[in-house]
Amino acid sequence: MSNQKQFQVAIVGATGAVGEQILKLLEERNFPVKSLKLLSSARSAGKKLTFKGQELTVEEAKPESFEGVEIALFSAGGDVSRELAPAAVERGAICIDNTNAFRMDPDTPLVVPEVNIDKINEHKGIIANPNCSTIQMVAALKPLHDRYGIARIIVSTYQAVSGAGAKAIEETLRQSREVLAGNEANPDVLPVGSLPVKHQIAFNAIPQIDKFQDNGYTLEEMKMIRETKKIMDDESIEVTATCVRIPVVYGHSESVYVEFKKDFDLEEAKQILSDAPGVVLQDDPANQVYPLATDAAGKLDVFVGRVRKDISHPRALNLWIVSDNLLKGAAWNAVQIAEYIAIKQEKA
């Protein structure tokens, strides 16, 4: 591999919760990096981060920052992506965008490598990384869809605070300490940083992730609904979602009801999940084995358990799907896409 093509890479939002994980994964996976630019807002510029023993200084992201960049991984919010991803594309970079900015754009592939890696060939400069809660669900459900055809999905989520960024993690830990000490929680970040009302997350469950839409769903719920159909490439799948933030730091959990078009065999469905790429079946009720957020944290896979035939519908299955929202739900899915791009260009 000594002659392997090396890439000029940029991470936009390098100091954020996801950016940090991307940096770590590029190093751990030994991604073929020729040069690495760490970019951020003006506020975080000047910070130092380490990559393979080398100290790098974070620079403010500007259109000119992308001169010479071949692969740019964006994770600094939708506004930054909307402003800078086109500038990066203009300069020849392929952007892997972890924000909501381009996900539903018909010209932008929305990719979960285990599900639809072939779509990366259709990009026009930007490849979108789906929402964290969507990624883990479709990774587990796609192989079942291929076999039995999914008619509908009803999902309720149990989402970690790290999905709302580093400030939400700090807030959750601070509030927990305050409440344990008998003090007020004084919420300041969650559920949505930019909205006026804040709710306690410590020892609580908040049924709001992102802003409310006119139909009474939150944007997070609508993301799950729309993105699932786009990634599965099947608008006929009916999806509904209720997204809830709970005081977990890393790892989203999901209670998923799925109704198939065809009859299915429970043992065969478990085998399909067990054989699915990137999916680990953790399902042994007799020994109290099922996925847990604390176990999934720090791991790249999607964990599935509580797999059982629904007793209220002959063609329905219930599952409990857990994955690290910062890894498979964000950084790892993005780096996986970058790896496929690297392999493709290597072969080209």
> Residue ranges for the binding site?
15-18, 43-44, 103, 159, 162-163, 245, 325
User: Is 180 or 343 the residue whose CB approaches a copy of itself more closely?
Assistant: 180
Terminal CA-to-CA distance of the chain, rounded, Å? 15
User: Is 64 or 235 the residue whose CB approaches a copy of itself more closely?
Assistant: 235
**Residue 191: is the preceding peptide bond cis (ω within 30°)?**
yes
Residue numbering of the annotated binding site for substrate? 159, 245
Does residue 169 bind a copy of itself (CB under 8 A)? Answer: no
Strand partners, 48: 57
- Verify whether residue 243 is a known catalytic residue: no
Task: Write out the H or E segment, with its range, that includes residue 19.
Answer: helix 17-28
CB of 282 to a copy of itself, least distance (A): 11
Alpha carbon separation from 239 to 152, 166, 260 (Å, rounded): 6, 30, 12
Closest CA to 192 of 209, 216, 217: 209
Reading the block at residue 342, the tokens are: 């690297």
- Backbone dihedral angles phi then psi of residue 39, each to the nearest 5 degrees: -120, 155
- Verify whether residue 145 is a known catalytic residue: no
Cβ neighbours, 10 Å, residue 205: 11
Residue numbering of the annotated binding site for NADP(+)? 15-18, 43-44, 162-163, 325
Does residue 294 bind a copy of itself (CB under 8 A)? Answer: yes
CB of 337 to a copy of itself, least distance (A): 28
CA atoms within 13 A on the CB side of 84: 30
- Backbone dihedral angles phi then psi of residue 94, each to the nearest 5 degrees: -95, 125
CB of 316 to a copy of itself, least distance (A): 7
CB of 45 to a copy of itself, least distance (A): 31
**d(C-alpha 126, C-alpha 118), whole Å:** 15
User: Is 80 or 209 the residue whose CB approaches a copy of itself more closely?
Assistant: 209
Q: Give the range of 30-38, 118-126, 128-136, 247-255 binding a copy of itself by CB under 8 A.
A: 247-255
Q: Give the range of 5-13, 35-43, 173-181, 330-338 binding a copy of itself by CB under 8 A.
A: 173-181
Contacting residue, 7, 102, 290, 332, with a copy of itself by CB under 8 A:
290
**d(C-alpha 101, C-alpha 98), whole Å:** 9
Closest CA to 91 of 10, 31, 145: 10
Q: Give the range of 25-33, 82-90, 111-119, 239-247 binding a copy of itself by CB under 8 A.
A: 239-247
Supply the residues annotated as catalytic. 132, 252
Give the interface with a copy of itself as residue ranges (CB under 8 A).
152, 154, 156, 158, 173, 176-177, 180, 191-192, 195-197, 199-200, 203-208, 212, 215-217, 225, 238-240, 242, 244, 246-249, 253, 255, 257, 285-294, 305-313, 316, 318, 320
